[in-house]
Structure 1
């Protein structure tokens, strides 16, 4: 166990390392080094950056084993740094750029003010995240790519760990571009899918289903889950939705689904479920981001999800560990 001072000073150093990582992602350093080493001056030219400033960041990145010195004042991409290339399947570049985007960085820096006041400094300055995304197409594209890559391990775990009822109709509530629904439908060729999301998102989902050869098995509906959801389906999926909202709003969403679902239907909630102990957990890190960015958004424990479901007329039946920190909560009509 490290000495407490090492933990504290290490956390302070993480701020600088995160800033260096963000700079590498934002400037596309890994993409520029993909074909081999470059001198710092040439790399700076390709990145449209100041050579002197970039040299100092590269020194930190080399200490993180993301790049490696390659002769005098030149650097090559280290194997660990490959994950920051845009063209690799497991790329984390968009995730780093999204979490380091100006408003997100602001939100985490103002976390003390959020905690003092009990309301998000992010919301006070920028408004609700999804309104901001709707007004900024470039930011929305970056966020969508982040969410797609973030959901990949969860989606793979969902397809392997959960048995869907055959020939069921599944409604993906706030399903975004439709990548999770597409994955489920590919794994379950007898199922049909309906995706519900806001109007500015639905065209993206239609393109996804067309590209995936699923247009004849899907329907895309523009709507607001606070108003209602498509009725009569067998399965309703909420993937990374409820953690954006406070308890009352979450119960409203769940209540609308409860009223719309078939008598023998089920609700699937894909979220990070917090443990009850004090051990480190991915959900505890994400929970602070939710605190910083949303008014009332939170990660929750199993018991807290059970309470929300109960308020909406649903009963938690099981929790399936999907790996990568995520869980699938199944709920049935109470």
Structure 2
């Protein structure tokens, strides 16, 4: 029986993504509803909604009442769009694009090559350039998993000497929004691909926050070629684990060049810039095992989770010296890097 249940776990992931995609949790925010009512609100079939919610009830995501209505549980509260710790779009991503890539896990296990090649004909990033919906879901999913880290960074790290932060590969800006929201004297620039920067700027304008609109901007950037100078601090959050060690060194070297230009432009009058690499580092726990296989399936060939020693060696190769490594409760480590001395 246990193997039967395990074999069907993929169906749970797909069911969760469908519930998230339909916004069922948002429809239940004001109280219980019948499957027929939910079907009408989400343009769905009543029986389809009924069995979907019963399947998700198995894992505690929704509760069926004696009168035939369904209501939210603590778990499904996080599927709501307005929940401060919403994971709605992470669930959509996990049950759609990531799920589709994992269908070809056999290829990865046998060859060591990413399954994304056979599923999408290349990297998931190239695919998202062509599929607007997939790109928007990915952006929102990254925002979901960034919010907790942003809160902790803003609360626990010293930003007193920092006036401008450049977030390299920062998506639609949720990490910087969290930090700038807590520190009113800081400005931020998100440097990312053209399509991502465009979506981020559009989203920022739609949010209608004049102060954030004044202090946060988006710059089209290729982190293999050039990123903006002028930052007191540079962030690379959840970027390097998508790339091989060789590519990661290239990315860090691009940031190093921007930091060196910053030093030259300031003529020694500004504090030396700092790079914060924010990544989950290798442990011997279940989460590390899952991340390691995930990277083989989804990310660039040769990508793997890094240990602290790996990060120190990679930083040195890119021209940095590691000043400190601190752990967050989100399972990330913050690796503080400064320019290496000659």
Same fold, TM exceeding 0.5? yes
> Does residue 159 in structure 1 map to residue 164 in structure 2?
no
Partner residue of 1:285 out of 290, 308, 315: 290
Gapped regions of structure 2 (runs ≥ 5): 264-271
- 1:175 corresponds, among 161, 170, 173, to 170
Counterpart of 1:261 (choices 259, 262, 273) is 259
Displacement of 1:226 in angstroms is 0.9
Tell me the matched-pair count. Answer: 325
Which residue pairs with 1:67 in the alignment? 62
Question: Which sits farther off after the overlay, 11-20 or 322-331?
Answer: 11-20
Q: Separation in 2 of the partners of 1:223 and 1:107?
A: 27
Q: Does the 8 A contact of 1:37 with 1:74 survive in 2?
A: yes
Query: Do 1:161 and 1:322's aligned partners in 2 also have CA atoms closer than 8 Å?
Result: no
Q: Which residue of 2 aligns with 1:111?
A: 105
| TM-aligned CA distance change 1:215 to 1:25, over 3 Å | closer
**Residue 23 to residue 234, structure 1, CA distance change in 2 (3 Å):** closer
Shift of 1:212: 5.4
How many angstroms does 1:272 deviate by?
1.0
* Runs of 4+ with deviation above 4 angstroms: none
Structure 1 position 274 matched with structure 2 position 274: no
Distance 1:40 1:56 in 2: 9
Contact in 2 for aligned 1:198/1:222 (Cα 8 Å):
yes
Alpha carbon RMSD of aligned pairs, Å?
2.6
Residue 217 to residue 141, structure 1, CA distance change in 2 (3 Å): same
The answer (yes or no) to whether the contact 1:182–1:212 under 8 Å persists in 2 is: no
Determine which of 184, 187, 192 is the counterpart of 1:192: 187
Paired residues for 1:243-254 under 5 Å: 243-254=241-252
Structure 1, unmatched stretches of 5+, are none
| Conserved 8 A contact 1:161-1:320 | no
SS of corresponding position for 1:38? coil
In 2, the alpha carbon distance for the partners of 1:91 and 1:153 equals: 10
Deviations along 1:93-139, one digit per CA (max 9) or x if unpaired, are 211011111x3212112112112112112123312222222222222
Return 39-48 or 103-112, whichever deviates more: 39-48
